[in-house]
Structures are given as structure tokens and as C-alpha cells.
Amino acid sequence: MSRIGKRIVAIPSGVTVNIDGQTVAVKGPKGALSWTVSDEIEIKLEGAELTLAPRNDTSRARGMWGLSRTLVNNMVVGVSQGYEETLELVGVGYRAALKGSALSMQLGFSHEVDFPAPSGITFAVPKQTEIKIAGIDKQLVGETAAKIRRIRPPEPYKGKGVRYAGEKVRRKEGKKK
């Protein structure tokens, strides 16, 4: 039995959920998302609660049960509250700025790195060394943060690079004479 799959998805006020066959469409104050659930999973909407259950007792159905519940819950939270990821720039001269909706960063290269905002993602730069990525799709927010971090990941000797807020970078000792 899936411990995650057994939990119900509570639908907050202001969020509407429509089920059309295996497609779940969620609409809220921040936007709308939809996803097609696997055929092995049965979806039931009862009032302000959404429950998911496997149709049969196969290994794949049990695996998709918890996954489906988590993805539907992420959609509900995304359209009601949204998701945000924060990145920090560590290094001398490392800074970020907004150029329209695109992100322009100086990361120690000989040129500026411009990163266009994917649809559904907004960037904010409260400080020159801090980037906030916001959106309603949890997967897209995390993937965008990972792509930006991949441009200049933190290096182990001085710790310079782009890192997640609060990330601990494992440092190495330098050369000894």
C-alpha cells in the first residue's frame, strides 16, 4: 500500500478541479494546469477532496498511485500558492540583472550570460547576488533553477558559483607547499 497515495488531496477554496476521463484540470487564482493520469489509476472527486486509487494490484499501478497523487497535489498547491526557488551568486563580480523578462548574469566569463524566461516562469532580482524564480509548475521552477545553476556550479576550492539558497558547498583544501 502506498502511504502517499492513500492520502487525500484537499482542494482549498478558490480552486476548481475538473476531471474529464483521465485528465485532471486544476484552475486557481494564479493560473491553470492540467495533467493526464495513467490508466491504472482511478480518480474520484468528492466535494472538496480528491482521492486516487489503483484499478488493479500490479507493480506499475502501485508505483503510479503515489506519483499521481503527488503530481495532482503539486498542481493544486501551484495554482493556489505557487512555487519559488532562490539562487545565490557567490564570487567577486558575480551579479545578475533583469533585461525585460530575461535574466542577464555576469559569472566570471568574458561575456554576459542571458537566460530567457520560459513561459510560466518569472524572475526577480531583489539583490545583485540573489535570483528568485517563481511559477505555478513545481517541475518547471525546479528545472529552470537547475539549468541556471548548471551554467556555473559552485566549485569546491573557493566556493564560487551559482548555488541554491542555503546550500552547503563541500570545500576542499588547496595545494600545500
Domain boundary among 63, 80, 97: 80
Tell me what the mean pLDDT of segment 99-120 comes to.
Answer: 94
- Give yes or no: residues 72 and 92 share one domain: no
173: in domain: no
Task: Tell me how many domains the chain contains.
Answer: 2
Domain boundary among 56, 80, 104: 80
- Give yes or no: residues 69 and 118 share one domain: no
Domain boundary among 34, 59, 80: 80
pLDDT at 3: 87
54: in domain: yes
Tell me what the mean pLDDT of segment 71-84 comes to.
Answer: 95
Domain ranges, residue 128: 83-164
Kindly report which listed range (1-10, 63-72, 154-163) carries the lowest average pLDDT score: 1-10
26: in domain: yes
Q: How buried is residue 25: exposed, middle or buried, by Cβ count under 10 Å (0-12/13-18/19+)?
A: middle
- Give yes or no: residues 30 and 74 share one domain: yes
176: in domain: no
Q: Which pLDDT band, with edges at 50, 70 and 90, does 2 fall under?
A: confident
Q: Domain containing 42 — which CATH number?
A: 3.90.930.12
- Give yes or no: residues 133 and 157 share one domain: yes
101: in domain: yes
Q: Which pLDDT band, with edges at 50, 70 and 90, does 1 fall under?
A: low
172: in domain: no
